[in-house]
Structure 1
Amino acid sequence: MADAKNVLFIIIDQLRADCLSGALAAHVELPNLRAFMEDAVSFERHFSVTNPCGPSRASILTGQYAMNHRSIRNGTPLRHDTPNIATEMRKLGYLPMLFGYTDTSQDPRAFAPGDPALSTYEFPMPGFHEMTEMRLEMSYPWRSHLMAQGYAFDRYCDVYRPVSPGGTEPRLTDPALYRAEHSDTAFLTDSFLGKMRGYCGESWFAHLTYIRPHPPLVAPAPYNEMYDPVRLPLPQRMDHRTDEEAIHPFIAPALEKGSISGMVEGFGDLEASDEAVQSLRAIYLGLASEVDTHIGRVIEFLKSSGQYENTLVVITADHGEMLGDRHCWGKSTIYDAAYHTPLILHCPDNAENAGRRVTLPTESIDVTPTILDWMGATVPNSMDGRSLLPLVYGETPESWRRHTYSELDFSNPLEPSVAERALGTGPSDSSLCILREDRFTLVEFAADLPPVLFDHEGDGEMRNVATRPEYQGDLARLTRAMLRHRMRNADQTLALYSITGDGPKLRAR
């Protein structure tokens, strides 16, 4: 046991950072995550470099910006030869065990045309060994488990519909058809705990990915009514949706795509009344608390089995969730709530830094290089992220980044998206980039659209100041910084190789 060296890498889908530190933290019970934070190092300015799920996980697991891996939408293939955390752990002799999903769209050049891998965007990333298939749109083991427990449903999507206990018309806050002990979150945790007991005493790597609190927003009792909607704060938003739309031409189609009706099954005509908004926010927080309960079970297993002090534990989220802020739902927008995520790292033998909060800017592409660095592995030149181990151990590296960078592609190559139709753009220019500093956030578009500039010492995201004369110097400086960032982070997979008479020579990035 003393020689074992384990990695447990947990991703919670769509968990906002402010559930743990910020606007919502006082309104949601996450006792296990908060206890873990006191025993670990937390990163308070951590941002996903892209969304939605598939692209964000591609970036997390490959350590690459979306501009380099180019798996930029759910359903966009990832190159089959891209190094990732699983391929690199295999080089160290580890079996990369996957409990859940990576939402990876496979490279069609590496498969026969009829291969089932090419019919879903939810396939595992190359290198992973799928221990438990748990995917949002598939999840055959879980649906089989529900059937074995006696639950009846005509279509799999019906599992995600609220069910009235009295048989009347369901309300938003009614429970799921399954009990809490049979939920997707409980099933995945049971599977992880049941299978991992046999690995005690060995070195292992496990990637555990929770679907919740990702929509559809339905929760089993008691989590469906754990929080009183009336007692929750209203979203951070302008009084009228039209005021939000006036910020920039991109906002109106983003609001149309991220509507409240898309967050729940069976309520296609749902309007964004305060009652509906607060009800869904309450269910979201209930689902977050459910995940917290089961993460507590996982941490307790590590401790009771004597593995906690041999295990690097990483807990993060793939991206955020607007949750009604700015009249928007989902994550395909420009605001911080869609990208700001928690990141908590527990390193063995680091008790002196337990409870430390890091406020330097970090990015989701830093996670994989950090794990590889802790393992003593060489980080491939393809990876754009930086190891966070110095920050974990209380050091501040020279020339640490001063900003975070994110991208969003809002195109649809098969049929023009809402934003493409509204803005007159196509697949090659339907994208945006976000650069965040301490004070400013700059949003630039590939299309010929005006930029967005937020001043967080002023009105923040409530006002676009890009056209105001007094900000033109800052706008020019940040635009140059964004250009330099893209230039300096061009794909380095092969760029630092040189072919010589003595064979290929490689310089580390």
Structure 2
Amino acid sequence: MRVLFLSVDQWRGDFLGYAGHPTMKTQHLDQLASEGVSFLQHYAVAAPCGPSRTSMLTGLYPQIHRSIYNGAPLHGRFENIASLARDAGLRPQLLGYTDTSADPASMASDDARLKSYEGVMPGFHQVMDHNESMLFHWRWKLEQAGFDVGDAAPSSLYAHVGASGAAFPDSPAHYDAAHSDTAHMADSLIDFLQVFGRDEDLFAHAVFLRPHPPLVAPEPYHHMYDGAVGPALGLPDKPVPFELAWREFQAQSTDYYDEAIDMARLTPDDVLAMRRVYMGLASEVDHHLGRVMDCLKAQDIYDDTLIIVTCDHGEMLGDYGLWGKMGFYDQAFHIPLIIKPPKSMDVDKGRKIHGFTENVDVMATLADYLGLDVPADVAGVSLRAAVEGAPFAGRPYVNWMFDYRLQEDMFFESILDKPSEACLMQVLKTPTSKIVLQPGEAALCYQKEEGIEFQTQPDPEQHARLLELGMSHLLVNLERGYANTRLGPKGPEEFHGPRQELLQFLRAKYF
């Protein structure tokens, strides 16, 4: 089966036309969703990029794989969708990046791969790199086209035209739309597909960097949404210590979000402009994804290709005074997912699924379509039946774990007076409530009304059930290892039950 597995970066799940956003222009993703199935309550189980992509590709929760921040190595014992596909005779190709930190135990201490978190998930053959610090090919193309590429720093490639001393230098990129980083990524993918696209066993994973910051876009995208952007949600009435620390961190850090932006001096107009540029970057990605679809159609292989489009994590976009992809709010973890199977397979075209799904389900779904067995610890469940039209209630809840230790400078550790191992949170979101668990702190409970999350104090019985659900989730999702394997006269026997059994058990107990 031909597979084109597309990922974008930092695109939150409500900023899409097909998902109901009133002004976002995503006509090509809207079209793809109309020909496949879209999952409107799809959530990442970790952030930032490295941990989330690790979970998406391995199907494992972060409490199992423990690659919990950018730079935390992934242990070599874990399988992933690329390694499983390669073992089955496929040749998974990567255009872009996976931000996989290599296992130090598997290589010499002076191996260059141990000096960057921007490694490649085992099993993939990387055709091209296109990450924040690996933009050499794009830089060369800009230089060849006559653009000023500045010094060697990647930030020089994203310089604003006529940037001033404003908190947000609201000016477009110095390159034109035909030579942007997104155009370069799409050009490279199209070139690849024109050579290898007809391979019926193609497995290509392409990762677009945008709409990830820096918040600068070429025209017409930089000002595409002038006057069409809604304001960010206001500050919460009762910010918790982590939120206050996050705001202080983003105000002090020069490289956390976008070094051209002075986060401490942002005005409401700056916030509107930043949200506008983000939307423009997203629409630019949509345009180039449309070019990729046109390439498939021109080769008459679009109808024969399994296409999956998703993302690693969302973006706060100034909501509640926060930027980036941290914490416990939906905006940072709610992400898109579209699945369009080959025309020869069943599909409930245009179906919009509102049941909960998690990004670990992507690995299980790909494995199902490819006929691969998944390891026992995989937390994901296949969504293929839902794509084909079967009744689908979704997960009873979604969860994510966020680790905010910063051992380089101990920022959160010092400001919150916590050891590094206590700088993490486990979040469980049900259809009606959310609970946030952190070591050494009282559980936080949230509800949502009219799109706004607010802290609440549930009645004692509801609070107890949420706490019990959180404990049960952590216990039943411990690493299985050999826990369900028994040695006997016949040799090792495995007694693993399907993952759906656990979800059905928890649904029956708590919902």
TM-score by structure 1 length?
0.91
- Cα drift, residue 416 of structure 1: 1.0
- Cα drift, residue 394 of structure 1: 1.6
Partner of 1:97: 93
Partners of 1:462 and 1:28 lie apart in 2 by 22
- Cα drift, residue 148 of structure 1: 2.2
Partners of 2:332 and 2:27 lie apart in 1 by 24
Partner of 1:236: 233
Alignment of 1:56-455 (within 5 A): 56-152=52-148, 153-154=150-151, 155-164=153-162, 172-199=169-196, 200-228=198-226, 230-238=227-235, 243-244=236-237, 246-259=238-251, 262-268=256-262, 271-348=265-342, 349-350=344-345, 353-396=348-391, 401-417=395-411, 419-446=412-439, 448-455=440-447
What per-residue deviation string (whole Å, max 9, x for no partner) do you get for residues 1-21 of structure 1?
A: xxxx11111111000111126
Q: Which moved more, 1:177-186 or 1:260-269?
A: 260-269
Partners of 1:105 and 1:385 lie apart in 2 by 22
Partners of 1:397 and 1:160 lie apart in 2 by 44
What per-residue deviation string (whole Å, max 9, x for no partner) do you get for residues 466-504 of structure 1?
A: 3xxx52211110111111111111112433333445443
Partners of 1:149 and 1:505 lie apart in 2 by 62
Query: Helix, strand or coil for the counterpart of 2:492?
Result: strand
Report if the CA contact (8 A) 2:43-2:335 is conserved. yes
What per-residue deviation string (whole Å, max 9, x for no partner) do you get for residues 57-113 of structure 1?
A: 011010011010000011100112210011011022111100000011111111111
Partners of 1:427 and 1:459 lie apart in 2 by 36
Matched residue type, 1:111: M
- Cα drift, residue 265 of structure 1: 3.5
Report if the CA contact (8 A) 2:138-2:181 is conserved. yes
Report if the CA contact (8 A) 1:39-1:351 is conserved. no
Matched residue type, 2:333: Y
Q: Which moved more, 1:15-24 or 1:110-119?
A: 15-24
Partners of 1:54 and 1:24 lie apart in 2 by 29
Partners of 1:173 and 1:364 lie apart in 2 by 34
- Cα drift, residue 163 of structure 1: 1.6
Report if the CA contact (8 A) 1:403-1:437 is conserved. yes
Matched residue type, 1:120: S
Change (3 A) 1:258 1:498: farther
What per-residue deviation string (whole Å, max 9, x for no partner) do you get for residues 393-445 of structure 1?
A: 121368x531001110011233313x222221112111101111111111111
Query: Helix, strand or coil for the counterpart of 2:222?
Result: helix
Partner of 1:505: 493
Report if the CA contact (8 A) 1:172-1:280 is conserved. no
Report if the CA contact (8 A) 1:42-1:358 is conserved. yes
Matched residue type, 1:179: D
Query: Helix, strand or coil for the counterpart of 1:428?
Result: helix
- Cα drift, residue 303 of structure 1: 1.9
Matched residue type, 2:201: S
Report if the CA contact (8 A) 1:173-1:225 is conserved. no
What per-residue deviation string (whole Å, max 9, x for no partner) do you get for residues 172-191 of structure 1?
A: 23111222111111111111
Matched residue type, 1:333: G
Report if the CA contact (8 A) 1:96-1:127 is conserved. yes
Change (3 A) 1:29 1:461: closer
Matched pairs, number: 490
- What stretches of structure 1 of length at least 5 have no aligned partner? none
Report if the CA contact (8 A) 1:160-1:265 is conserved. no
Change (3 A) 1:494 1:250: same
**Could you tell me which of 463, 466, 477 is aligned with 1:489?**
477
Partners of 1:118 and 1:480 lie apart in 2 by 40
- Cα drift, residue 225 of structure 1: 1.2
Partners of 2:341 and 2:159 lie apart in 1 by 40
Report if the CA contact (8 A) 1:13-1:318 is conserved. yes
Report if the CA contact (8 A) 2:169-2:260 is conserved. no
- Cα drift, residue 264 of structure 1: 3.2
- Cα drift, residue 256 of structure 1: 2.2
Matched residue type, 2:117: Y
Partner of 2:468: 480
**Could you tell me which of 47, 53, 58 is aligned with 1:51?**
47
Partners of 1:499 and 1:185 lie apart in 2 by 53
Query: Helix, strand or coil for the counterpart of 1:60?
Result: helix
Change (3 A) 1:21 1:294: closer
Matched residue type, 1:190: D
- What stretches of structure 2 of length at least 5 have no aligned partner? 498-511
Report if the CA contact (8 A) 1:40-1:344 is conserved. yes
- Cα drift, residue 139 of structure 1: 2.0
Q: Which moved more, 1:141-150 or 1:167-176?
A: 167-176
Matched residue type, 1:439: T
Partners of 1:204 and 1:107 lie apart in 2 by 28
TM-score by structure 2 length?
0.91
Report if the CA contact (8 A) 1:83-1:382 is conserved. no
Cα-Cα RMSD = 2.1
Alignment of 1:19-30 (within 5 A): 19-20=15-16, 25-30=21-26
Q: Which moved more, 1:125-134 or 1:344-353?
A: 344-353
Partner of 1:464: 455
